């Protein structure tokens, strides 16, 4: 069988696509990078926010056009949107041949010959994939250390879609990382809904530091990157480990969502603004060159003008290297859906634009500090790549003044910086 895949949404979803694709390849089936000529085109959807749902619907429509034109024989859809909107997909896209739940991805070969909706419960435990492949560049890969979430933030659907928090055993993660390194992966990004809770369910307490220490024992693993930490769980011990080695990129993605206490409380974030500031101050003190990435939600129910101004000032003061801003979307089934004091769409949009403008001015200041400095970079191609400050797929890219070997990690001087466009000169 010839199959093709389209993976939408976050890196965590991409790891699922890589795992079920690997299962099919391991059974002798052929992966086509171009869907034309495929016996089946599998779409792994995201259903987290409205824009992701729209992207999934557009992609399904595109796939069905390919099917109607005879370029693919069958269209199958899985992922988070199936968990949330199964009935809507069946009603809006009756030409889709197969819908299957996330829990059935582990049995993908058995179900691809079926039609209609195939349901399966989420696995209670995470296991080492039978075979690991990468749908990203050969030198960089994501390693999922856990799935699901117990935080129950008021705006979030993840606990309903992905289930409770489930960690992969340390020994399995180490084996998976060893396999990646043997296959030429230089940069491994550790991901979960909350990496800083890693191991709590298996070992009775978070074990991210212990996991990192075991991964560092394999000298073939060149660089590790930490994604999606929860603010009050980023410990001094973790910061000291990051500071102690160049093999963990001095980078951490901490989705903060807001800084004003009334908003954080209504979001059910389990931490307040003072705690967030303490965490960030601690990181900047213990890891002076730390690169921080975060996300914020504007227009959450009850967010006042004063709350938003506090958020603006916070973004101005803390100078995040990379930042995403999202307008709050009222999701069915979440605690926030029925909160009073919903903010108008007009105000949400205005606040998003204002916060992005604040961040733009921050980046101008960051760039002035960057010019002339020497940073570690990784080449995604001969003339482009990223610095240690930039995670794959979600952050910016840089260009190089002269060609380098793809996948190489090297030092380079920042010679030009405008917005998120930066030019680096490789140095010996």
pLDDT surpasses 70 at 412: yes
CA atoms of 425 and 414, how far apart (whole Å): 6
- Compute CA 360 distance to the chain's CA centroid, rounded to the nearest angstrom: 22
Domains of the chain: 2-118 (3.40.50.12160), 140-370 (3.80.30.20), 374-426 (2.40.50.140)
What are 99-113's pLDDT values in tens digits? Answer: 999 989 988 999 999
Q: Is 177 exposed, middle or buried (0-12, 13-18, 19+ CB in 10 A)?
A: buried
CA atoms of 183 and 110, how far apart (whole Å): 28
> 404: pLDDT confidence band, cut at 50, 70 and 90?
very high
What are 241-285's pLDDT values in tens digits? Answer: 999 999 999 999 999 999 999 999 999 999 999 999 999 999 999
Helix (H) / strand (E) element for 75: namely: strand 75-79
What are 204-241's pLDDT values in tens digits? Answer: 999 999 999 999 999 999 999 999 999 999 999 999 99
Rounded to 10°, the helix 50-68/80-92 angle is: 50
What are 128-177's pLDDT values in tens digits? Answer: 666 566 677 899 999 999 999 999 999 998 888 888 999 999 999 999 99
The b/e string for 253-292 (b: 16+ C-beta within 10 A; e otherwise) is bbbbbbbbbbbbebbebebbbeebeebbeebeebbeebbb
CA atoms of 82 and 9, how far apart (whole Å): 13
Mean pLDDT, the chain, whole residue set: 94
Q: Please report the pLDDT score of residue 129 as a whole number.
A: 67
Q: Please report the pLDDT score of residue 150 as a whole number.
A: 93
CB 307 within 8 A of CB 263: yes
Pseudo-torsion of CA 107, 10, 201, 164, nearest 10°? -70
Mean pLDDT computed over 186-196:
96
- Phi–psi pair at 98, nearest 5 degrees: -145, 130
pLDDT surpasses 70 at 304: yes
Question: What is the percentage of the chain residues whose pLDDT exceeds 90?
Answer: 83
What are 305-325's pLDDT values in tens digits? Answer: 999 999 999 999 999 999 999
What are 22-71's pLDDT values in tens digits? Answer: 889 988 999 999 999 999 999 999 987 778 889 999 999 999 999 999 99
């Amino acid at each position: 069988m010839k199959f093709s895949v389209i993976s939408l949404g976050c890196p965590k979803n991409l790891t699922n696509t890589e795992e079920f694709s690997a299962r099919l390849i391991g059974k002798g089936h052929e992966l086509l990078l171009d869907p034309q000529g495929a016996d089946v085109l599998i779409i792994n959807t995201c259903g987290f926010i409205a824009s992701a749902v729209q992207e999934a619907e557009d992609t399904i429509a595109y796939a069905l056009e390919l099917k109607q034109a005879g370029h693919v024989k069958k269209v199958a859809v899985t992922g988070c949107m199936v968990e949330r909107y199964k009935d809507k997909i069946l009603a809006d896209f009756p030409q889709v041949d197969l819908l299957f739940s996330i829990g059935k991805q582990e049995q993908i070969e058995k179900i691809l010959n079926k039609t209609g909706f195939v349901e399966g419960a989420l696995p209670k435990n995470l296991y080492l994939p039978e075979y690991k492949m990468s749908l990203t560049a050969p030198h960089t890969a994501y390693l999922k250390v856990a799935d699901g979430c117990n935080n129950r933030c008021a705006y979030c659907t993840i606990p309903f879609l992905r289930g409770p928090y489930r960690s992969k055993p340390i020994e399995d993660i180490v084996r998976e990382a060893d396999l990646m390194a043997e296959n030429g992966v230089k940069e491994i990004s550790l991901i979960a809904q909350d990496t800083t809770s890693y191991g709590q369910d298996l070992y009775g307490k978070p074990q991210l530091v212990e996991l990192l220490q075991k991964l560092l024992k394999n000298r073939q693993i060149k660089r590790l990157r930490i994604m999606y930490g929860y603010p009050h769980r980023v410990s001094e011990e973790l910061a000291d480990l990051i500071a102690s080695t160049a093999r963990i990129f001095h980078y951490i993605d901490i989705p903060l969502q807001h800084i004003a206490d009334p908003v954080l409380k209504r979001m059910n974030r389990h931490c307040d603004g003072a705690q967030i500031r303490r965490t960030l101050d601690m990181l900047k003190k213990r890891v002076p060159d730390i690169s921080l990435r975060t996300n914020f939600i504007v227009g959450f129910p009850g967010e006042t003008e004063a709350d938003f101004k506090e958020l603006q000032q916070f973004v101005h003061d803390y100078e995040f290297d990379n930042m995403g801003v999202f307008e709050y979307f009222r999701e069915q089934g979440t605690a926030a859906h029925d909160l009073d004091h919903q903010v108008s769409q007009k105000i949400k949009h205005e606040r998003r634009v204002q916060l992005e403008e604040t961040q733009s001015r921050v980046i101008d200041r960051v760039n002035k500090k960057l010019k002339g400095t020497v940073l570690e970079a990784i080449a995604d191609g001969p003339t482009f790549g990223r610095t240690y400050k930039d995670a794959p797929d979600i952050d910016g890219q840089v260009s190089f003044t002269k060609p380098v070997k793809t996948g190489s990690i090297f030092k380079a001087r920042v010679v030009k910086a405008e917005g998120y466009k930066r030019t680096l000169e490789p140095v010996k």
